[in-house]
Chains A and B, each alone.
Chain A
Amino acid sequence: MIVAERKTIPELVEILNGHKKILVLGCGTCVTVCLAGGEREVSIISSALRIASNIRKLDFEIEELTIERQCDNVFIEQATEAIERNDVVLSLGCGAGVQAIAERFLEKPVYAGLNTEFIGVLEERGIWTEKCAACGACVLHQYGGICPITRCAKHMLNGPCGGSREDRCEVRPDRPCAWQLIYQRLKGIGQLDRLKKIAPPKNWETSLDGGCRVIIREDHRI
Chain B
Amino acid sequence: MNICIFYCSNSLDANALKQNISNNEKDEVNTVSLPCSGKVNLLYLLKAFENGADGVILVTCGQNECHFLEGNLRAKKRAEAVDSMLEEIGLGKGRMIVIRKNNEGIKQITTALEQLKKDLS
Which residues in A have some Cβ–Cβ distance to B below 8 Å?
A: 8-10, 40, 43-44, 47-48, 50-52, 55-56
**Minimum C-beta distance from A102 to chain B (A):** 26
**Minimum C-beta distance from A126 to chain B (A):** 9
CB-nearest residue of chain A relative to B48? A47
**Minimum C-beta distance from A134 to chain B (A):** 30
Interface check B89, CB cutoff 8 A: yes
Which residues in B have some Cβ–Cβ distance to A below 8 Å?
A: 41-43, 46-47, 49-50, 85-86, 88-91
Chain A residues near B85: list those with CB within 8 A: 9, 48
- Asked whether A51 and B41 contact (CB < 8 A) given A9-B89, A56-B90, the answer is no
Chain A residues near B41: list those with CB within 8 A: 40
- Subset of 9 A-B contacts with CB under 8 Å: A9-B85, A9-B90, A10-B88, A43-B43, A47-B49, A48-B85, A51-B46, A51-B49, A51-B50
Report the Cα distance A99→B108, complex, angstroms.
52
Pick the contact of A51 from B42, B43, B91 — CB < 8 Å? B91
Chain A residues near B91: list those with CB within 8 A: 51, 55
Chain A residues near B49: list those with CB within 8 A: 47, 51
Chain B residues near A48: list those with CB within 8 A: 46, 85, 88-89
Chain B residues near A55: list those with CB within 8 A: 89-91
**Minimum C-beta distance from B38 to chain A (A):** 13
In the complex, the 5 A-B pairs of residues with the closest C-beta atoms, listed nearest first: A9-B88, A47-B46, A52-B89, A47-B50, A55-B90
**Minimum C-beta distance from A17 to chain B (A):** 13
Report the Cα distance A10→B47, complex, angstroms.
19
Report the Cα distance A56→B42, complex, angstroms.
22
**Minimum C-beta distance from A59 to chain B (A):** 15
Chain A residues near B42: list those with CB within 8 A: 44
Report the Cα distance A43→B85, complex, angstroms.
14
Whether B43 contacts A47 by the Cβ 8 Å rule is yes
CB-nearest residue of chain A relative to B90? A55
**Minimum C-beta distance from B2 to chain A (A):** 13
